[in-house]
Amino acid sequence: MSELSTTPELIASNKCFGGWLKRYKHQSSSTGTEMVFAIYLPPQAQNKPVPVLYWLSGLTCTDENFSQKAGAFRMAAELGMAIVCPDTSPRGTDHPGEHESYDFGSGAGFYVNATQAPWAEHYRMYDYVVAELPTLVEEHFPVTDARSISGHSMGGHGALICALKNPGRYTSVSAFAPISNPINCPWGEKALGRYLGPDRESWKEWDSCALIANAEERLPLLVDQGEADNFLAEQLNPGALLHACESAGHPLELRMQPGYDHSYFFIASFIDDHLRHHAKALGLS
């Protein structure tokens, strides 16, 4: 393991609401590539370790989308919560077809561990997000091992599966417009088919609706969905998530928001609610 792997290298630093937003790069053992992540450290982190919310972004995004558009740092500073934003896929591998479409390959890792060549070598975003990145963050920054997780669209899918597959690892979970049932929508069928192969049964390991039925932990889910979201019917299917939760007795607060679309204007409108949701679970309020 290289020196860069164990010591993240600072790329940029900006003071914000009394805390600091910092971007780092490091060599990832999970993806075998250089990865970039952002971390917001609230002012309280100057005096004591603080808990962390992990934010997973959607298709085409990097760590910068949330940092620049979500408007989350004022509330995070007030609550005393760090926020970590990873990238959405490995970068720089240049496999054939990797950069040809917005919904597969570069910027579209889907937070799974790929099993099919050539993707299996580098596209291991699940291992990166769940294990490698938190270990790195907890080793090098003034944070505790109390974790929450949230995300948007593909990242909402990622947040849900990370929590459902790892009982006890996160104190809370939420999502904005998640891809709730990827085994039954075009985005999910394309990505899972190529990353995991044609056996649709194996896809269920990465599908929130399938995981909920046998979840070992009934962590309450907070989900916001815009009713004017162009992707609502074809790709997101919150109704499937609602049905799965009702069938399994899994706690879900699904808030359908009239007039809101899929954009970060939607996220910025309700991000404070989600931060308070996580803060309560993390013992900050």
**For residue range 109-157, what is the model confidence (pLDDT) as tens digits?**
999 999 999 999 999 999 999 999 999 999 999 999 999 999 999 999 9
For residue 209, give the nearest of 223, 228, 194 by alpha carbon. 223
Contacts 24+ apart (CB under 8 A), 121-124: 121/32, 121/93, 122/31, 122/32, 122/33, 122/90, 122/93, 123/31, 123/89, 123/90, 123/195, 124/30, 124/31
Q: Is 180 a catalytic residue?
A: no
pLDDT score at 1: 34
Q: Is 28 a catalytic residue?
A: no
> Pairing mode, if any, of strands 19-27 and 9-16?
antiparallel
Q: Active-site residue among 67, 106, 153, 172?
A: 153
**Confidence band (pLDDT; 50, 70, 90) for 4?**
very low
**Confidence band (pLDDT; 50, 70, 90) for 2?**
very low
Q: Active-site residue among 172, 229, 274, 278?
A: 229
Q: Is 229 a catalytic residue?
A: yes
The stretch 228-252 carries a mean pLDDT of 98
What is the percentage of the chain residues whose pLDDT exceeds 90? 95
CATH fold of the domain at 9-282:
Rossmann fold (3.40.50)
Query: What is the tens place of the pLDDT at every residue in 63-97?
Result: 999 999 999 999 999 999 999 999 999 998 989 88
- Written as one letter, the residue type at 3 is E
**Confidence band (pLDDT; 50, 70, 90) for 285?**
confident
Helices (H), 90-185: 125-127, 133-140, 154-165
3-state SS assignment for residue 228: coil
Q: Active-site residue among 26, 250, 262, 274?
A: 262
Query: What is the tens place of the pLDDT at every residue in 20-79?
Result: 999 999 999 999 999 999 999 999 999 999 999 999 999 999 999 999 999 999 999 999
User: Residue 267 is inside which H or E element, if any?
Assistant: helix 264-281
What are the boundaries of each domain within the chain?
A: 9-282
Dihedral sign computed on CA atoms, order 147, 148, 153, 157: positive
pLDDT score at 6: 60
pLDDT of 5 strictly over 70: no
Query: What does the alpha-carbon distance between residue 90 and residue 172 come to, in Å, rounded to a whole number?
Result: 26
Dihedral sign computed on CA atoms, order 86, 87, 91, 96: positive
For residue 89, give the nearest of 117, 56, 44, 134 by alpha carbon. 56
pLDDT of 3 strictly over 90: no
Average pLDDT of the chain, as a whole number: 96
Query: What does the alpha-carbon distance between residue 130 and residue 170 come to, in Å, rounded to a whole number?
Result: 10
